Structure 1
Amino acid sequence: MTRPASPTWSIAQVAEEFGVTHRTVRHYEELGLISPERRGTQRVYHRRDRTRLNLILRGKRLGFPLEEIRKIVDMYDEQPGEAGQLTYLLDQIGDRRLELERRRKDIEDSLTELDDLERRCREDLRRLG
């Protein structure tokens, strides 16, 4: 009994599914983040490529640089495997959270300063008018 072939996707299908351009998908391939099978000039994407692309895009949305994303994604296939990958990822999440909290405080401080400046400008305008 033969096993059914696992599903494959073209670059157009993968790009459309993830809402990215063909160029973006090729860029991640050039960086070695994904490695589709090649059949002549055609790229054939397997489930593993789609999973990796999903993780890459999630990492980008969360603000991780591509080198960090590569390290996290590659750890799955290396020792200590998934447990090591998850432990490392938790550390990175903590670092990213701290960075975002600092940014949020900076933004809140800036907004407070703008509110104060706006209030003073309006008061000065009322005094002048």
Structure 2
Amino acid sequence: MSPSYSISDLARELDITTRAIRFYEEQGLLSPERRGQERIYSGKDKVALKLILRGKRIGFSLAECRELIGLYDPTAGNQKQLNTMLGKLAERRAQLEQQMLDIQQMQLELDTAEERCRAALEETLKKQSIN
């Protein structure tokens, strides 16, 4: 029998709130079994939740997480899911590299603006001290 988890078990184990888990459920990313009012999460739900949290940390959208979860197929060795994940990781890395270049360019522009302001301020102070 595969392991099952209550919402509080998952929240405690993964260090997130039960509200966050319910949100992901509302978004269709998790589908726990119901026993009356109680939610029973499977091992697959736990894996999906870990994937969501990892995806969130590296900047994936919920739609991207949903896509990756939908590709989960342990019978096929998750080959399609893993290949898709590698592609998304490469895309994310390229985005981050572009953002780093953009930040470096902005820093250069800030340095230039700061130098001009300091030079103008120095010039203004010199004129004032002469008069």
What TM bracket, shorter-length normalisation?
Answer: 0.7 to 0.9
Deviations along 1:31-84, one digit per CA (max 9) or x if unpaired, are: 221112211111122322111101001111111111111111211138966111
TM-score normalised by length of structure 1 = 0.84
Q: Sequence identity of aligned pairs in percent?
A: 45
Aligned length: 125
The 3 A distance-change label for structure 1 pair 31 and 81 is farther
Which position in structure 2 is the counterpart of 1:28? Answer: 24
1:57 is aligned to 2:59:
no
CA 1:99–1:50 in structure 2 vs 1: closer, same or farther (change >3 Å)? Answer: same
Q: Give 5+ residue unaligned stretches, structure 1.
A: none
Residue equivalent to 1:16: 12
The runs of 5 or more residues in structure 2 that have no matched partner are 126-131
Range with greater deviation from structure 2 (43-52 or 13-22): 13-22
User: Is residue 2:34 matched to residue 1:71?
Assistant: no
**Alpha carbons 1:75, 1:81 under 8 Å: kept:** no
In structure 1, what residue type is equivalent to 2:38?
Answer: Q
Q: Quick one: distance in 2 between partners of 1:61 and 1:96?
A: 12
Larger Rg: 2
Counterpart among 35, 42, 47 of residue 39 in structure 1: 35
Bigger Cα displacement from structure 2, 92-101 vs 42-51:
42-51
CA distance in 1, matches of 2:85, 2:110: 37
TM-score of the superposed pair, with normalisation by structure 2: 0.83
Q: How big is the alpha-carbon RMSD for the aligned residues of Structure 1 and Structure 2? A: 2.1
